[in-house]
Structure 1
Amino acid sequence: MTRLSVNINKVATIRNARGGNNPNVVQVAMDAERFGAQGITIHPRPDERHITTKDVYDLKKVVSTEFNIEGFPDERFMEILNDVRPDQATLVPDPPNVLTSNAGWDTIKRAEELKPLIDQIKQMGIRVSIFVEPEVDIIEGAKALGTDRVELYTEMYATAYKESPEKAIKNYAEAAQKAHELGIGINAGHDLDLENLNYLVKTIPYIDEVSIGHALICDALYYGLENTIQLYLRELKI
């Protein structure tokens, strides 16, 4: 079954809106795991608008499932990885000033930049995943870089899903098939929710992990965190 990693950035956003420590990000991570989450994902941006550097070190002490840290691989991010040694590092191409991740890596044009970074992270004993769009040549480029996994950027799938699930999934299925053939692990994330998640994992059954934050936290406002995590786990069953 595809594993569920809960992205808790939005929990930190709520906390930071008022200062203090309510909601408690560390406690939410521990509770999410207790409720069935199989991983915790964070994205510690330089401006600390949600997850702070302190959060990273605090969470390292308590996360007992898979700890996934996303970020742009600048000097600060690489230092955090070297200190914390999470289970997985997910490299995203967005610079610090963007609101949220909105594009994947061009694994061909930026190969010279990415290859030494991926090698360095792997030498730390950390699994590497890179954020990519669903294009076969990009997947082939990822293989050449030596990354362990790719994370398929699923915003386009989520947007097109309501009109035609079959059309929405087409490029993703082709890209995932290529990754599977090449022996690259497959993650997925961005705008996945209770409506579109099950179709994705049924069509691409070898997705290793999905990272879901915004929709899951929004759903938790109505259903509660424990129930919401169980609802997402149910959608991942195929």
Structure 2
Amino acid sequence: MSAAGTQPANGPRYLARRARGADDLEAACAIRAAAFGLGAPDRDPFDDACIQIVIEDRRASCLVGCFRMLPLASGADIARSYSARFYDLARLALHMGPMTELGRFCVRPGLRDPDILRAAWGAVTAHVDTQGVGMLFGCTSFRGIDPAPYAAAFALLAQRHLAPPDWAPLPRAPQTVPLMRQQDAPDARRAVQAMPPLLRTYLAMGGKVSDHAVIDAQMNTLHVFTGLEIAAIPVARKRLLRADARVPDGGA
């Protein structure tokens, strides 16, 4: 997230901003569909309740990524979240401070510029700081519903990154895969390479995951609940995030 990219003379190449009307939302849904391998634009009822953020390539004048944020006043509102459809979040319901669910965090397939994620996390950081958010959470997706390719990744998550008992989610979805530790230590490099970039970023900041993955056949994914307590982010990482923070107010 700290890597510098080529920038236009008048500012960063990538800008994370609020979606401006139906055209932006339609483009974001198309990016989501491409990222998840769906045959039609990805829309659901949560879109209307969320803050929609798009990531614009200012040099190419096109959208290259998107995500949405659902602010919650406290854990008492956790049942409104997308994640609550798949996980029992009763323990998180006791969380007293503001929370935000991140969802549909996607980059256009084939693009690997780390500055795209950098712009996205700058917008998230600005939101966290201005709203006093104490926890970020969401469902982090692995492509496909076959857990076999992710055995090492799941084992590493089980060994090092399980959520603490005071907020760890319990199973709710009908089809789940437990994150099982392996008898031998997993190959950490191979395991990390198998994880989606979003999850790697969460873990680098101190994020924790559920002890099981959900099989979501509709989205053709396996996903794990991921939570990040803002207080747990290392100070050096917070400094880098805030250096890129920009309120996504819809302006250019």
Higher strand share: 2
Give me the TM-score of the superposition, normalised by structure 2. 0.28
Higher helix share: 1
Give me the TM-score of the superposition, normalised by structure 1. 0.30
